[in-house]
Amino acid sequence: MNYEAVIGLEVHIELETDSKMFCRCSTDYFTAKPNTHTCPVCLGLPGALPVANQKAIEYAQRFGLALGCDLFTKSKFDRKNYFYPDLAKGFQISQYELPFSQKGSIEIRIDDKAKKINITRAHLEEDTGKLTHAKVKGKNVTLIDFNRSGVPLLEIVSDPDITSALEAKSYAQKLQQLARYLEVSSADMEKGSMRIEPNVSLRKSGEKALPDYKVELKNINSFKFAEGAINYELERQTKALEKGERLIQETRGWNEKENKTVSQRFKEEAHDYRYFPEPDLPPLSFNTRHLSNIKRNIPEMPDVKLERFKKQYNFASYDAQILTSDKIIADFFEETLKAYKKDDPKRVANWIIGELLRRLRENGKSLKYIDLLPANLAELLYLADTAEITQNIAKEVFAKMLETGKTAQSIIKSMGLTKMSVEDLEVLINKILKENKKAVNDFRKGKEASIGFLIGQVQKEAKGQADANLTRRLLLEKLK
């Protein structure tokens, strides 16, 4: 019997505000000592009262608009009641009945085919503490760090429109891209500021009704693991159904070492959380002026920028997609082009894609964290264009620019990398011709490939300081 996947995603994105959702503790917890960014509010001590973070609310509304959602003019917070060690209060302040936004959609592309994924809702809540399982003096213990507790967390819930692990991965990557374009979150999965919880089930091919169960997957901290966990779960469920087994609604964790999911607990329904309005926070109202201001401050979104790059700069889809995949890269390209003394978008794009991004990828670095100014790259390209330096020297200088953040001119001067003069190049060519008489004779006998060997010998001796085109021309003149 054939089955088809029914997948919905709950994606949690930590919002990059200075303070937590309901208190003034810092959200910069990643490298902090455990339990140093806490207060009575985020520790849930009796009598401590929450105050909502206005910036987090604006970020949530901004994200909702980017998802094409309807924004509520009235909203409120609710208590989600459950017991778990990382939840100090015994409840989580979240949203249930009136989220900030609902009913949106985004478009993903697989093999250049577009598909719309509908968004159920995007609501704001507080993050929980972090549990670390360890061994202390031979005993298994669980350590709790409440630094993360109370950090603003946006939960984006999709409709069950996803039908494969690849679609789920593409959808999650699109949300990460939106978060970064909106500058509301770094959405770094490796740091836990973006977390994916797929809900996976199967139904018979051709059926329209949703399955009577769903399996939620947790402990996923990369797109690769998300794809692997979903594929494993689809295979596990298929085998179970083919054996006639009844699948239950449960939560399963992804074991990355064994590449499989393991059962953790029965999955709760909404009524199990006993939601009720948060009594310590008043309902929220937003006038049309506020919502208009939020909408006006939405930057150019990735899909719009992609189409603009293709039309304005005459880029192929491949180049445009790479350059607009990240707002930082797109902005860097346009700032470099603006500082460049020539109107040649393709030249700048080729260097950014072929040199800059390649080197960053090889060294495991991000453009966000290097000291390379767009104006400095534009200067380097112009020096190479005007034959002040060779292309090989330009690449050598660029590597030093990435390491030091210095300008091309200062590096060229300090390393003595100016281009070889015509007079010096002629002297070197005469030397190479005398030392390689066999190659000279071969060329004169019609072996055209010998010229490439001779050019290579000149470049090797010149250490990249000889212009390749000039070298070839002078060699051909002397070989006549």
pTM for the structure as a whole: 0.84
Contacts of 115 (CB under 8 A, 6+ apart): 107, 108, 109, 161, 167
Distance CA 219, CA 251 (A): 11
How high is the mean pLDDT of the chain? 91
**Which among 293, 322, 351 is the end of a domain?**
293
For 86-104, write each residue's pLDDT tens digit: 999 999 999 999 999 999 9
Neighbouring residues of 108: CB distance < 8 A, sequence distance ≥ 6: 114, 115, 117, 167, 170, 171, 174
Place of tokens 């001067």: 413
331 and 475 fall within a common domain: no
Least confident of 48-52, 142-146, 466-470: 466-470
Question: At residue 147, what is the residue type?
Answer: N
Distance CA 209, CA 99 (A): 26
- When divided into structural domains, the chain yields a total of 3
pLDDT above 80 for 236: yes
pLDDT of residue 456: 82
pLDDT for 391: 84
Site of tokens 């015509």: 422
- The residues, ordered by sequence, that sit 6+ positions from 208 with a Cβ below 8 Å of its Cβ are none
- Above pLDDT 90, what percent of the chain? 69
Tell me, what's the pLDDT at 62?
96
Which 3 state secondary structure label does DSSP give 10?
Answer: strand
Residue 421 has pLDDT above 80, yes or no: no
| Tens-place pLDDT, residues 22-40 | 999 999 999 999 999 999 9
Residue 477 has pLDDT above 90, yes or no: no
The answer to whether the CB of 177 falls within 8 A of the CB of 185 is: no
- In the chain, the amino acid numbered 217 is L
Confidence of residue 419 (pLDDT cuts 50, 70, 90): low
Is 13 in contact with 185 (CB distance < 8 Å)? yes
Q: Which residue has the higher pLDDT, 430 or 48?
A: 48
Percent of residues, the chain, with pLDDT higher than 70:
97
Question: Do 226 and 312 reside in the same domain of the chain?
Answer: no
The CATH number of the domain holding residue 426 is: 1.10.10.410
Same domain? 351 vs 433: no
Paired tokens of 86: 């990382």
pLDDT at 415 over 80: no
The last residue of one of the domains, among 415, 441, 468, is: 415
Pair 254, 393 in one domain: no
Indicate if 7 and 110 belong to the same structural domain: yes
Q: What are phi and psi of 120, to 5 degrees?
A: -75, -50
Q: Do 287 and 162 share a structural domain?
A: yes
Residues recorded for the chain: 480
Cross-strand bridge partners of residue 274: none
Q: How far is CA 300 from CA 105, 183, 327, 387, in A?
A: 17, 12, 9, 37
pLDDT surpasses 80 at 469 = no
Q: Are residues 95 and 234 in the same domain?
A: yes
pLDDT at site 432? 79
The predicted-structure confidence for 134-174, as pLDDT tens digits, reads as follows 888 889 999 999 999 999 999 999 999 999 999 999 999 99
Q: Where are the beta strands (DSSP E) in 288-401?
A: none
> What is the pLDDT, as a whole number, of residue 290?
93
Q: Would you state the pLDDT for residue 418?
A: 65
Lowest-pLDDT range of 303-312, 396-405, 420-429: 420-429
What are 166's two structure tokens? 């690849």
User: What's the pLDDT band for 413 if we cut at 50, 70, 90?
Assistant: confident
Q: Which of 246, 275, 293 is the last residue of a domain?
A: 293
What gap in Å lies between CA 462 and CA 464, rounded to an integer? 5
- Domain membership of residue 313 as a residue range: 302-415
**Residue 331: predicted pLDDT:** 97
pLDDT, mean of residues 370-390: 89
pLDDT above 90 for 311 = yes
DSSP assignment of 318-356, as one string?
Answer: HHHHHHHSSHHHHHHHHHHHHHSSS--HHHHHHHIIIII
- 431 Cα distance to chain centroid: 53
Whether the pLDDT of residue 446 is over 80: the answer is no
**Residues 361, 233 share a domain:** no
pLDDT at res. 1? 62
Q: CB atoms < 10 A from the CB of 323, how many? A: 24
Give me the amino acid identity at 367.
Answer: L
What's the Rg (C-alpha) of the chain?
29
Between 436 and 445, where is the model more confident?
436
Would you state the torsion angle of the CA atoms of residues 362, 367, 368, 369, taken in this order, to the nearest 10 degrees?
Answer: 50
> 149 and 178: one domain?
yes
Dihedral sign computed on CA atoms, order 182, 184, 185, 187: negative
Per DSSP, the three-state class of 163 is: coil
d(CA 202, CA 163): 9
Same domain, 118 and 221: yes
Judge if 87 and 220 occupy the same domain: yes
Residue-wise pLDDT for 240-290, tens only, equals: 999 999 999 999 999 988 999 998 887 667 678 899 999 999 999 999 999
Tokens of 412: 């060229």
Placement of tokens 């909408």 in the chain: 295
pLDDT attached to residue 120? 97
Give pLDDT tens digits for 173-225: 999 999 999 999 999 998 999 999 999 999 999 898 999 999 999 878 899 99
pLDDT (average), residues 353-367: 92
Based on the domain organization, do 69 and 210 belong to the same domain? yes
The pLDDT assigned to 457 comes to: 83
pLDDT value of position 270: 65
